[in-house]
A = this chain, B = another copy of it.
Amino acid sequence: MEQPRGTRVRGTRQASAVAAALTSLPGFCSAQEIHAELRRRGETVGLTTVYRHLQVLSEQGAVDTIRDPSGETLYRQCGSTAHHHHLTCRVCGRSVEVEGRVVEQWAEKVAAEAGFTSVDHTVELFGLCPDHAA
């Protein structure tokens, strides 16, 4: 797990570009949308590279990921680094970070009662934001 001495993760133009895009984009976006946004800004970053950085950032906990109803993965840089969930607009991707103590407790209780261990949970809310109410 230790880096061979003198070796470190390299800083590249592409890494900063992806991070910057995530910082400026307000809602959840797909990798391809982020790629398109970068090109719009004149940044040349390969789609593969965008995917790779998103994966790394996600593993580091620097960005949150959700899966939209079609199965596509969406990414977003969140304000809080603590555990939380999202209420996301189906139309524009705008999202609100929500926290729910009750849900966490409910999940733990249910898991314990069933004798399951290493239980993880997925809780996602999708709806229409005030601007996109039907």
Chain A residues engaging chain B, CB cutoff 8 angstroms: 67, 71, 73, 87, 89-90, 96, 98, 100, 102-103, 106-107, 110-111, 114-130, 133-134
Residue numbers in B under 8 Å from A116 (CB-CB):
87, 89, 96, 125, 127-130
In order of increasing CB-CB distance, the 4 nearest A-B pairs are A119-B127, A116-B127, A115-B130, A122-B124
For the complex formed, measure the closest distance between the CB of A120 and the CB atoms of chain B, giving whole angstroms.
5
Nearest chain B CB to A45 CB, angstrom units = 24
Determine the chain B residues whose CB is within 8 A of the CB of A127 once the complex forms.
111, 116-120
**What residue in chain B is nearest A124 (Cβ atoms)?**
B122
- 30 A-B pairs with CB atoms under 8 Å apart are A67-B71, A71-B71, A71-B73, A87-B114, A87-B116, A87-B119, A89-B116, A90-B118, A96-B114, A96-B116, A102-B103, A102-B106, A103-B106, A103-B123, A110-B125, A115-B129, A116-B128, A116-B130, A117-B127, A117-B128, A117-B133, A117-B134, A119-B126, A119-B127, A119-B128, A120-B126, A121-B123, A122-B122, A122-B123, A122-B124
